[in-house]
Chain A
Amino acid sequence: MIDPIIKVTGLTKIYNHTVLAVDHISFEVNRGEIFGLLGPNGAGKSTTIGMLNTLLKPTEGTAQIDGIDVVKEPSKVRRIIGVVPQEYTADEDLTGWENVMLIADFYGIPHDVSRQRARELLEMVGLLEASKRKVETYSGGMRRRLELAMGLINKPKVLFLDEPTLGLDVQTRTAIWEHIKKLKSQYNMTILVTTHYLEEADEFCDRIAIIDKGKIIKADTPENLKKSIGGDIITIQLATDGKEVDQVLKGIEGVFDIKNNGDGLLTLKVNDGGSVAPTIIKTFTQMNLNVARLTLARPTMDEVYMAYTGRNLREEQASSEETFAMRRTLRRARS
């Protein structure tokens, strides 16, 4: 873990001399890592990705991808990255196959190589059969998988995924993530992903950076992030009213918050709930207290997000799905 492929130092973007979208952020992404950028709309996620994939010029700061500076040598960076943007960018008037081959031509890949690779990729994302059809007949999930295949045609070292699962149903989202995971393990590809879906970030990212108002608030593994906001939650239902247990519980190491409402329901915040819970049961048994029920819950990313940004991402998730749906309608209105 000492081999960062993406190095970002003091990266800043100010639009029109007034709007500060990204504010001196610095982070590193290690080779072969899935790195998630998590944050509300307008936090600067897409701007950050835009600067890294050479679409936007940083106002300040530097970024390197595999040792190549994105400002000084953008065309070299473009050769080793793949980009799957938030929008469906495939040309609707062409077939899936033609779209993949078109992007291959942009990368200057000779046709004998690109034909074989296009077949492999389309097979991998399960679109080989459909690839002879025009993209306008594809469903949302198929479109997203096609975008993925298009973003991979040059076997990129770093893949940028901007909201890869936005607006898709749960099964399709899982399928997309399966592909992403496969890529990571097969090609040791480094993946930088933005997402609104907390449970996805939690489950699939090796590390997550929480970004808000253009700044990285915290970057760590999902595990550590959850630990950092203060441990696990144990709820205990006692057979008795349990009014006398507070003092005892305070004596157990790892317990740091007790809520006892006097009818036998205890809610505890503890560090390392897995080892604290047995101790509690043992103590209670020695006191001849009957534990009717015990649950151990770990904090979710929702709570992590809430703790660091003071906001609830769920509501914003809904609003960006709405925006996305609107954009799709607009696209249809074209023809």
Chain B
Amino acid sequence: MLRPDFERNPRLDFEFNRRIPYYILAGLAFLWLLSGIYIVGPDEQGVVRRFGRMVRVVGPGPHWHLPFPIEKVDVPKVTEVRRIEIGFRTVHPGPPARYVDVPEEALMLTGDENIVHCEVVVQYRIKDSPKYLFNVRGQRELVKDASEAALRQVIGRHKIDEVLTEKKSEIQQEIQKKLQELMDLYDAGISIVLVKFQDVRAPKEVDAAFKDVASAREDRERLVQEAEAYRNDVLPKARGQAEKMIKEAEAYKIERVQRAKGDVARFLAMLREYRRAKEVTKTRLYIETMERVLPRVKKYIVEGKGTLNLLPLEKVVRGGAR
């Protein structure tokens, strides 16, 4: 490109040739300075050390630091949530995800000396990047060890039934709190985002017995339900029957009273007539009744007194009955 022309201007060419090494040197120096440019991603923080001493922390964007060996920069991902698995490992993120158990991590003693199987996920992120970078070695191991310790310590304070059912979420929070305390004790610059039970169950050796308890509890519910069904069947019927009895009684009462009123009305009517002509009415009623009664009965008209025992009464009666 820049091809010097010896013919035309040898003096100038000589001058130029003499300067080339300086240009190269300047270029190298320039490149050296350029090597200090770095970009901090939106999820990162830049931590700059000058001769090993931390001098500044910068946010996302392009930055420049004094080139090596004076300054160097670390860009930890501060918003990234990291994840630790206890008691299991994800072997294939899926879908469908596949896991393997790690029994020696998962099995642990509870406060009532039972053994429970816990699988836990711990999520954490960097809270303070200089502390995270410079205060501890093996950050991930630290979180892992502390998680296991906190998990077992908290589970050890609770009974197995609390762990399996009622107090699950409280226990998760307790573990998280304990773990955060440990992180603060170690001054690790780590914030525990979440501690979550992936799976909590009885060990497989005793699983059947635990399932039987669950089904026994269901049996109890079922028996109670059945009894309540019986109650709901019987009581309304009984109430209905009671109502029926009362209504029948009321009907009887109405009947009695109305009939009485009817009878009385008839009697009073007759009485009124009777009072108008006592003897005649009496006689009339008597004869009318006789007229109705006598045709259907056997009648013997016997003269004289004391003759009744002469009559073959038995024969008469039997004949009449026939």
Partners in one complex: no
